[in-house]
């Protein structure tokens, strides 16, 4: 009788060990899957940041390479004030023109241009759901609304832009409403905003000030 009890006891102990081993294997397996998942998340997040920084630098280089006197008119939101005629500025700039090769349908060029203005597509990034133009990249200048309701390059728009008041046209004041035609310094910001993997808002911003004397 005691021998049978001992055999049964040993059999039960072995079954318990097997159950524990199965649990350990399952936990380890799910831990591995979780590690792979978070590894993929980190890799994708890093890729998105790299894409955003690259696109922002590309756009900034395009702005810096353009004729300084016409930079604002070429890269502002309006396409009606382009130096070579309405809607012509975007066609001259590869980083902005390439947006149409990245999934945005390019309409036939007309006298009024393509309607994209100062925005550009960033490949591989999903624009925010509340983005009014549905494009991740934007080129921003300090602007204000003049007496006619038009948006113009303005020293008054700098507080919200970079937090510093600059004399953009060199006339010893920092409160001119419209310096579109006579600026000698040009603050510019390249902003890329997109939705992350979990719908969170992400952004990359590059700020600089261009100077005519450096041209």
- Ordered by start, the domain boundaries in the chain are 6-214
Q: What would the two tokens of residue 121 be? A: 């597509």
- For residue 14, what pLDDT is reported? 80
Give pLDDT, residue 106: 36
Long-range contacts of 178-181 (CB under 8 A, 24+ apart): 178/144, 178/146, 178/152, 178/153, 178/154, 179/152, 179/153, 179/154, 179/155, 180/72, 180/73, 180/152, 180/153
**DSSP per-residue codes, 139-173:** EE--EEE-TTS-EEE-GGGHHHHTS----TTSSS-
Burial class (CB in 10 A: 0-12, 13-18, 19+), 107: exposed
What pTM was computed for the model? 0.71
Share of the chain above pLDDT 70, in %: 76
| Residues in the chain, total | 215
Which pair of structure tokens corresponds to residue 54?
């690259």
pLDDT digits (tens, 9 = 90+) for 103-127: 333 333 333 334 456 888 888 899 9
Tokens for 44? 């994708």
How far apart CA 210 and CA 36 sit, in angstroms, is 45
Below-70 pLDDT ranges, the chain = 1-13, 87-117, 160, 162-163, 213-215
């Amino acid at each position: 009788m005691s021998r049978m009890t001992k055999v049964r006891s040993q059999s039960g102990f072995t079954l318990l060990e097997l159950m524990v081993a199965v649990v350990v294997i399952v936990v380890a397996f799910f831990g591995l899957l979780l590690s792979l998942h978070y590894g993929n998340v980190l890799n994708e997040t890093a890729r998105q940041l790299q894409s955003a920084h690259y696109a922002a630098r590309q756009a900034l280089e395009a702005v810096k390479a353009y004729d300084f006197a016409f930079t604002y008119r070429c890269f502002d939101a309006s396409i009606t004030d382009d130096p070579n005629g309405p809607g012509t500025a975007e066609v001259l700039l590869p980083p902005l023109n390439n947006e149409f090769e990245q999934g945005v349908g390019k309409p036939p060029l007309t006298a009024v241009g393509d309607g994209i203005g100062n925005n550009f597509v960033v490949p591989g990034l999903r624009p925010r759901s509340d983005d009014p133009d549905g494009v991740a990249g934007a080129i921003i200048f300090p602007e204000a609304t003049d007496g006619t309701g038009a948006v113009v390059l303005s020293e008054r728009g700098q507080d919200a832009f970079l937090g510093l008041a600059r004399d953009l046209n060199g006339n010893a004041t920092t409160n001119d409403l419209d310096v579109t035609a006579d600026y000698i310094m040009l603050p510019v910001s390249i902003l890329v905003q997109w939705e992350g993997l979990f719908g969170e808002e992400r952004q990359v911003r590059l700020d600089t000030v261009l100077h005519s004397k450096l041209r």
